[in-house]
Amino acid sequence: MAHRPKRTFRQRRADSSDSDGAEVPSAEPGAPGEQAARGPSKEGSPPGGGHAVAAEPRLRGRGRGRGRGRGRVWASSRRAVGAASGADGDSGVPVLLESRTVDLSTDEEDGTHHASESKDDQSSSSNSSSSLEEEFSSIVNIPDAAFIQAARRKRELARAQEDYISLDVKHTSTVSVMRKNSDEDPESEPDDHEKRIPFTPKPTTLRQKMAEETATRNEETSEESQEDENQDIWEQQQMRKAVKITEGRDIDLSHNSESQTMKKFDTSISFPPVNLEIIKKQLNTRLTLLQDTHRSHLREYEKYVQDVKSSKSTIHNLENSSNQTLNFKFYKSMKIYVENLIDCLNEKIINIQEIESSMHALLLKQAMILMKRRQDELKHQSTYLQQLSRKAETSTNGDLAIDEKTQWILEEIESRRARRRQARTLSGNCDHQEGTSSDDELSSADMTDFQKSQGDILQDHKKIFEDVHDDFCNIQNILLKFQQWREKFPDSYYEAFIGLCIPKLLNPLIRVQLIDWNPLKFDSIGLKQMPWFTSIEEFIDSSMEDSKKENHSDKKILSAVINKTIIPRLIDFVEFIWDPLSTSQTTSLITHCRTILEEQSTFENEVSKGKKDLFKSIVSRMKKAIDDDVFIPLYPESAVENKTSPQSKFQERQFWSGLKLFHNILLWNGLLPDDTLQELGLRKLLNRYLIIALLNAIPGPDVVTKCNQIAAYLPEKWFEDSTMRTSIPQLENFIQFLLQSALKLSRSEFRDEVKEIILILVKIRAFNQAESFIEEYHLDHLKSVIKEV
Which helix (H) or strand (E) segment is 232 a member of? helix 206-243
CA distance 195 to 193: 6
pLDDT value of residue 721: 83
> 0.75 cut: is pTM over it?
no
Give tens-digit pLDDT for 604-617: 545 478 888 999 99
Task: Dump pLDDT digits (tens) for 565-588.
Answer: 999 999 999 999 999 999 999 999
What's the pLDDT score for residue 26?
38
Q: With beta carbons less than 8 A apart as the criterion, state whether 450 and 366 touch.
A: yes
What pLDDT does 442 receive? 80
For residue 25, what pLDDT band results from cuts at 50, 70 and 90?
very low
Give me the DSSP letters along 731-780. Answer: GHHHHHHHHHHHHHHHTSS-THHHHHHHHHHHHTT-HHHHHHHHHHTT-G
**DSSP label at 193?**
G
DSSP state of 499: H
Inter-CA distances, 469 with 473, 474, 510, 667, Å: 7, 8, 17, 45
Could you write out the DSSP letters of every residue in 417-462?
HHHHHHHHHHHT---PPTT-S---PPPHHHHHHHHHHHHHHHHHHH
How far is the CA of 305 from the CAs of 123, 293, 308, 314, in angstroms? 97, 18, 5, 14
User: Using 50, 70 and 90 to split pLDDT, how confident is the model at 341?
Assistant: very high
- Cβ neighbours of residue 757 closer than 8 Å, sequence gap 6 or more: 704, 707, 738, 739, 741, 742, 745
Task: Determine the structural domain holding residue 340 and report its residue range.
Answer: 327-360+445-544+551-629
What pLDDT score was predicted for residue 655? Answer: 93
pLDDT tens digits, one per residue of 382-393: 888 888 877 766
Q: Which of 94-98, 446-450, 552-556, 780-784 has the highest mean predicted lDDT (pLDDT)?
A: 446-450
Centre a 10 Å sphere on the Cβ of residue 370 and count the other Cβ atoms it contains: 17
Provide the number of structural domains found in the chain: 1
Residue in 672, 703, 677 with CA at minimum distance from that of residue 690: 703
**What one-character DSSP code corresponds to residue 190?**
P
pLDDT category, 180, cuts 50, 70, 90?
very low
Which residues neighbour 319 within 8 Å (Cβ) at sequence distance 6 or greater? none
**For the chain, how many helices (H) and strands (E)?**
29, 0
Q: Which residues contact 409 (CB under 8 A, 6 or more apart)?
A: 376, 377, 380, 381
CB atoms within 10 A of CB 548: 8
d(CA 533, CA 540): 11
Q: 40-49, 303-312, 617-626: lowest mean pLDDT where? A: 40-49
Q: Rg (Cα) of the chain, in Å, rounded?
A: 66
The SS3 call for residue 196 is strand
Q: Which DSSP string do the residues of 339-364 spell out, in sequence order? A: HHHHHHHHHHHHHHHHHHHHHHHHHH
Q: Which residues pair with 61 in a beta bridge?
A: 189
User: What is the C-alpha to C-alpha distance for residues 565 and 511, in angstroms, rounded to an integer?
Assistant: 7
Q: Residue 398 pLDDT > 80, yes or no?
A: no
Question: Long-range contacts: 487-490, Cβ < 8 Å, 24+?
Answer: 487/544, 488/330, 489/327, 489/330, 490/544, 490/545, 490/549
Residue count of the chain? 789
Q: Give CA–CA dist 577/360, Å, rounded.
A: 9
Q: Give bridge partners of residue 101 from the DSSP assignment.
A: 196
Residue 265: band (very low, low, confident or very high) from pLDDT cuts 50, 70, 90: low
Query: What CA–CA distance (Å, rounded) separates 430 from 256?
Result: 147
For residue 64, pLDDT beyond 60: no
Q: What are the residues whose beta carbons fall under 8 Å from the beta carbon of 506, sequence distance 6 or more?
A: 475, 478, 532, 536, 561, 565
Give the span between the Cα atoms of 650 and 652, in whole angstroms: 5
* Alpha-carbon gap, residue 199 to 22, rounded angstroms: 12
- DSSP letter for each residue of 142-174: PP-HHHHHHHHHHHHHHHHT--S--B-TTHHHH
Do residues 416 and 408 lie in contact, with contact meaning Cβ atoms separated by under 8 Å? no
Distance between CA atoms of residues 675 and 670, nearest Å: 11
pLDDT at 567: 93
- Does 21 reside within a domain? no
On whether residue 370 sits in a domain, the answer given is no
Does position 682 have pLDDT exceeding 70, yes or no? yes
Nearest CA-CA partner of 95 in 151, 159, 44, 46: 151
| Residue in 519, 527, 528 with CA at minimum distance from that of residue 576 | 519
Residue 50: other Cβ atoms inside 10 A: 17
* Cβ neighbours around 257 below 10 Å, total: 10
- 731, 773 contact by CB (below 8 A): no
569 in helix, strand or coil? helix
Return the exposure string of 450-478: e unless at least 16 CB atoms fall within 10 Å of the residue's CB, then b. beebbeebeeebeebbeeeeeebbbbeeb
The pLDDT value recorded for residue 681 is 94
**More confident position, 172 or 760:** 760
Residue at 573 is within a domain: yes
Torsion region of 617: left, alpha or beta (phi above 0 gives left; psi -120 to 50 gives alpha): alpha
pLDDT > 70 fraction of the chain, expressed in percent and rounded:
68
Residue 108 in this model has a pLDDT that exceeds 50: no
Whether 607 is covered by a domain: the verdict is: yes
State the average pLDDT over residues 650-669.
93
685 close to 665: Cβ distance less than 8 angstroms: yes
- Predicted local confidence at residue 278, as pLDDT: 87
pLDDT class of 460 with cuts at 50, 70, 90: very high
Residue 275 lies in a domain: no
Q: Write the single-letter amino acid at 734.
A: F
697-726, pLDDT tens digit by residue?
A: 888 889 999 999 999 999 999 988 878 888
Q: Percent of the chain having pLDDT more than 90? A: 33
Bridge partner residues of 196 (DSSP): 101
Residue 30 falls inside a structural domain: no
**Angstrom distances, CA of residue 724 to CA of 686, 732, 739, 763:** 22, 14, 19, 11
Report pLDDT for 219.
74
Task: Pick the closest to residue 380 from 401, 417, 408, 418 (CA basis).
Answer: 408
Give yes or no for residue 470 having a pLDDT over 70: yes
Highest mean pLDDT among 22-26, 44-48, 423-427, 450-454: 450-454
Is pLDDT above 90 for 310?
Answer: yes
Give the residue-averaged pLDDT of 445-458: 92
Distances in Å between the Cα of 458 and the Cα atoms of 351, 461, 462 are 13, 5, 6
Q: Which of the pair, 110 or 325, is modelled with greater confidence?
A: 325
- What is the rounded average pLDDT for all residues in the chain? 75
Range name among 113-122, 131-140, 491-500, 764-773 with the lowest pLDDT average? 113-122
Query: What's the average model confidence in pLDDT over 647-671?
Result: 92
In sequence order, the 6+-apart residues with CB closer than 8 A to the CB of 711 are 760, 763, 764
The model's pLDDT over 756-768, given as tens digits with 9 standing for 90+, comes to: 999 999 899 888 8
CA distance 452 to 441: 17
pLDDT of the residue at 430: 67
Residue 14 has pLDDT above 80, yes or no: no
Residue 351 lies in a domain: yes
pLDDT in tens, 587-604: 999 999 998 888 776 555
Task: Give the bridge partners for 672, in sequence order.
Answer: 669
Mean pLDDT score, 133-159? 73
* Cβ contact 709:757 at 8 Å: no
What average pLDDT score do residues 318-322 get? 68
What CA–CA distances, in Å, run from 467 to 220, 470, 473, 514?
92, 10, 10, 20
Tens of pLDDT, residues 211-236: 777 777 777 777 777 777 888 888 88
Whole-angstrom CA distances from 277 to 270, 273, 281 are: 20, 11, 6
**Cβ atoms of residues 204 and 167 within 8 Å:** yes
Assigned domain for 584 exists: yes
Give CA–CA dist 144/43, Å, rounded. Answer: 10
User: Given pLDDT bands bounded at 50, 70 and 90, which one contains residue 661?
Assistant: very high
